[in-house]
Amino acid sequence: SAVISQKPSRDICQRGTSLTIQCQVDSQVTMMFWYRQQPGQSLTLIATANQGSEATYESGFVIDKFPISRPNLTFSTLTVSNMSPEDSSIYLCSAHQNPGVVTEAFFGQGTRLTVV
């Protein structure tokens, strides 16, 4: 299985600022996904990052707030813009090889974001 390196692992940010989270995969993957996980809660999908096209956002999440880049098949970034304390959460990236073939999805180690 592939390995995802996600950084930063944690950050404390001032409200109104932006943070960019990076995920690097050690092999080429078709689909990458960005999740948010509140403490004690399940994973909520923010968006699907497609290489070569715009990301697809889930209901309640918009590109202006969470812009995503996917410049190649091994890398993606999520930016949390104009942060408020409500954005404090764990952000996780995920990937799997080929949606046409049933394969395991694996996760980065997560970014714990605290907005003060």
Partner 1 sequence: GENVEQHPSTLSVQEGDSAVIKCTYSDSASNYFPWYKQELGKRPQLIIDIRSNVGEKKDQRIAVTLNKTAKHFSLHITETQPEDSAVYFCAGRGPNRGSTLGRLYFGRGTQLTVWP
Q: Interface with partner 1 by CB under 8 A: which residues?
A: 30-31, 33, 41-43, 45, 48, 50, 53, 56, 92, 94, 96, 99-100, 102, 104-110
* CA neighbours closer than 13 Å in the CB half-sphere of residue 53: 8
Nearer to partner 1 by Cβ, of 75 and 107: the residue is 107
Tell me, letter by letter, the H, E, C secondary structure of 47-84. Answer: EEEECCCCCEECCCCCCCCCCEEEEECCEEEEEECCCC
Compare residues 12 and 105 and give the one whose CB is closer to partner 1. 105
Query: Considering the complex, what minimum distance in angstroms separates the CB of residue 82 from partner 1?
Result: 25
Of the CA atoms within 13 Å of residue 83, those in its CB half-sphere come to 19
Minimum CB distance to partner 1, residue 81 (Å): 22
